[in-house]
Amino acid sequence: MFEQQDPNLIQLNSAGQLKHFLTTEGLSREMLTEILDTADSFVDMSAQQVKKVPLLRGKTVVNLFFEASTRTASTFELAAKRLSADVLNLNIKTSSTSKGETLKDTLMTMEAMHSDMFVVRHSDSGAAHYIASNVTPHVAVINAGDGRHAHPTQAMLDMLTIRQHKGAFEPLTVAIVGDILHSRVARSQIHALRTLGAKEIRVIAPTTLLPRHIEALGVTVYTDMLQGLKDVDVVMMLRLQKERMQSALLPSESEFYNLYGLTEEKLKLTHPDSIVMHPGPINRGVEIETSVADGPKSMILKQVTNGIAVRMAVMSMAMGGQMTEHQAERGSE
């Protein structure tokens, strides 16, 4: 676990532009909206004959993954390449690199290669903040998930998906269901939804999978899924984080499915125009019924498409913020 500074002291440059993207917590509504608007401009790129823009041409992006990932790593790589960046993928999956000086040695090596951006995934909370605080000036850092703390690009691709299908956030009741305790996605979603003005945010989980004092984040807690789903507009399912469970927090996966799995029958309790989301990968028959995951209300594949656009947005914005800061410093010399 790394100590964390106020994220906005290091996320924004002196002009208030994004220069790192570490967390949704503390960012203004205007900043989150700018990320969504920028991402919207990239959404249709996959349908174009030439799927590239030159915004990061000549820049080197290092995907620095200390924790295994396929989906997140591949979408960041594709996003960087669509921005015309050169990409280096490093999968460092050994626990010996998880603390202090060893991590700093890795950073120094990458900086010596004149990298321009680090995309960081790490099993320890605060790792991305540590890197952003210790990295050479003008190297942008994007948090691709750190411990139980944050997964901001996942949250923002979820916000983009909601905005595309629901428009304004203010009328919405959103339910986040499942393993809240171990989920960095849930925390980032809650912060983003609150900032964007969602009417009500519900979390639905067994007490063993709820963090202490979760109500302090401005959510309504339900341990009964049938009550919690009543009339909601958006259902955001979470993956059961089995690899992060250190004790027997659940009697069985089948019992979890019976009580907290999203089935077609339970989905009938939601608003008739509700949508269903899941960050993936899906545990079918554990978190969600196959017919729901593949059904007409499911936005799961749309989330994947939006993930590329959102990651292109934050990478281009952070690099732009770094360049603006660098130019301002040179001008004041």
Three-state SS for 229?
coil
What is the residue-averaged pLDDT of the chain?
Answer: 89
Determine contact, residues 117/139, Cβ cutoff 8 Å: yes
Tens of pLDDT, residue by residue over 181-239, are: 989 999 999 999 999 999 999 999 999 999 999 999 999 999 999 999 999 999 999 99
| DSSP-derived secondary structure letter, 56 | T
- State yes or no: 148 annotated in a binding site: no
Cα 110 from Cα 164, distance rounded (Å): 38
- Predicted TM-score (pTM) of the model is 0.92
Residue 251: what pLDDT? 65
Q: Which amino acid is at 331?
A: G
Please tell me the distance from the alpha carbon of residue 144 to that of residue 185, in angstroms, as a whole number: 10
Q: Which residue from 269, 276, 265, 283 is spatially nearest to 237, judged by alpha carbons?
A: 276
pLDDT band at 289 (very low <50, low <70, confident <90, very high): very high
The residue ranking higher by pLDDT, 106 or 93, is: 106
Q: What is the pLDDT of residue 96?
A: 45
Return the structure tokens found at 195.
């900032």
* Residue 5 counted as an annotated binding residue: no
Q: Please, are residues 177 and 50 in contact by the beta-carbon 8 Å criterion?
A: no
User: Has 280 been labeled as part of a binding site?
Assistant: yes
Please name the residues in contact with 223: beta carbons below 8 A apart, sequence gap of 6 or more: 204, 205, 206, 207, 210
195 marked as part of a ligand binding site: no
Whether the pLDDT of residue 265 is over 50: the answer is: yes
Tell me how far apart the alpha carbons of residues 10 and 204 are, in angstroms, rounded to a whole number: 33
Find out whether 58 is annotated in a ligand binding site.
Answer: no
Which tokens belong to 3? Answer: 């100590």
Question: Is residue 322 part of an annotated ligand binding site?
Answer: no
- Residue 95 pLDDT: 42
Asked whether residue 147 is marked as a ligand-binding residue, the answer is no
Element (H, E) at 145: strand 140-146
For the cut 90, the answer to whether the pLDDT of residue 255 exceeds it is no
Structure tokens at 80: 């960087």
Mean pLDDT of 47-63: 90
Alpha-carbon span 291 to 284, nearest angstrom: 10
On whether the CB atoms of residues 132 and 286 are closer than 8 A, the answer is no
Is the pLDDT at 98 greater than 50? The verdict is no
**Burial readout 117-144 (b: 16 or more C-beta within 10 A, e: otherwise):** bbbbbbbbbbbbbbbbbebeeebbbbbb
Domain architecture of the chain: domains with CATH: 7-151+307-331 (3.40.50.1370), 153-304 (3.40.50.1370)
Residue predicted with more confidence, 193 or 125: 193
Distance from C-alpha of 249 to C-alpha of 292, rounded to nearest angstrom = 26
- 184 labeled part of a ligand binding site: yes
